Amino acid sequence: MKKVFINGAEGKMGKAIARIIQSRPELGLEVSIRRESGQAVLGDFDVVIDFSTPQGAQEAFSIARKHRRPFLTGTTNLPETFLFQMQEEEKIPVFYAPNVSLSVYFFTELVRQAACMFPGYEARLHEIHHQYKKDAPSGTAKKLADVLELPYENVTYERTGEVVGTHTASFVSAFDEITLTHEAKNRDLFADSAVHIALWLMKRESGFYTMSDYAKFKLKEKRK
């Protein structure tokens, strides 16, 4: 059994990840550490999965480096300096994605292609999330804004109810409008993917990995 250290363990994502690990023994994983803010880490672990806060992610990264264990974070709104630090990492495998879902990765590629297909159209982005979400716009919306070369200030957003996460890219002209929407219906979309990425990350060399690396691996695996 491989031991998983969940950082932000009592949060919405932390709990969903623990539930998936516990309900699927065939994955060969067990939760060995559940860390919340300020807690010391006692015990052994093979991989760190972090969904917490920017501060929590940086603490967990330091712990992963100290113990030389792979580190996966999906925490959003991370400072540029920390993103740079992760990108430069040479001691351990590190994975970061503002959205760990493969379907969102391919949705982002669709949006990239649509932007090429509709030059001269005005690109717009709108996202909707649950009332508890701390950052805005979402990490996913910022990634989509980068793809569309839109300033983050132009992204519109709503915070309401229990919405898991909806992202809409529109291409607008005076005569028509093309709309692409990804709607996450359940947080397990992210939690299940995070668990599979962690399994994959444990087999990687030291260095920095993103969804693009993971998607390439999955596509190759499918072709076999």
Ligand X SMILES: NC(=O)C1=CN([C@@H]2O[C@H](COP(=O)(O)OP(=O)(O)OC[C@H]3O[C@@H](n4cnc5c(N)ncnc54)[C@H](O)[C@@H]3O)[C@@H](O)[C@H]2O)C=CC1
Binding site for ligand X (CB under 6 A): 7-8, 10-14, 35-37, 51-53, 55-56, 59, 74-76, 97-101, 135, 139, 190
In angstroms, the Cα distances linking 196 to 49, 67, 131, 202, 203 are 11, 22, 28, 10, 12
What does the alpha-carbon distance between residue 188 and residue 26 come to, in Å, rounded to a whole number?
Answer: 17
Catalytic-role residue among 2, 12, 15, 133: 133
Judged on CB neighbours under 10 Å (0-12, 13-18, 19+), 164 is middle
Per-residue burial over 99-113, b = 16 or more CB atoms within 10 Å of its CB, e = otherwise: bbbbebbebbeebee
Site string for ligand LZUJQKHR, 61-90 (x = CB under 6 A): ---------------x--------------
Contact 99, 216 (CB under 8 A): no
Residue 129 touches which member of ligand X, ligand LZUJQKHR, none, C-beta under 5-8 Å by kind: ligand LZUJQKHR
Site size with ligand LZUJQKHR, rule: CB under 6 A:
9
Provide, rounded to whole angstroms, the least separation between the CB of residue 210 and ligand LZUJQKHR. 14
In angstroms, the Cα distances linking 76 to 43, 53, 165, 211 are 27, 8, 13, 14
Q: Does residue 165 bind ligand LZUJQKHR (CB under 6 A)?
A: yes
Residue 129 appears among annotated catalytic residues: yes
Nearest CA-CA partner of 182 in 123, 105, 122, 76: 105
Provide, rounded to whole angstroms, the least separation between the CB of residue 145 and ligand LZUJQKHR. 11
161: left (phi over 0), alpha (psi -120 to 50) or beta: left
Residue 130 appears among annotated catalytic residues: no
Contact 67, 187 (CB under 8 A): no
Residue of 7, 52, 99, 168 that binds ligand LZUJQKHR (CB under 6 A): 99
Provide, rounded to whole angstroms, the least separation between the CB of residue 83 and ligand X. 13
Report the residue number whose CB is nearest to ligand LZUJQKHR. Answer: 165
DSSP 43: S
Contact 217, 200 (CB under 8 A): yes
Q: Does residue 52 bind ligand LZUJQKHR (CB under 6 A)?
A: no
Provide, rounded to whole angstroms, the least separation between the CB of residue 99 and ligand LZUJQKHR. 5
Q: Does residue 8 bind ligand LZUJQKHR (CB under 6 A)?
A: no
* Chain contacts with ligand LZUJQKHR (rule: CB under 6 A): 76, 98-99, 129, 133, 138-140, 165
Would you name the residues annotated as active-site residues? Answer: 129, 133
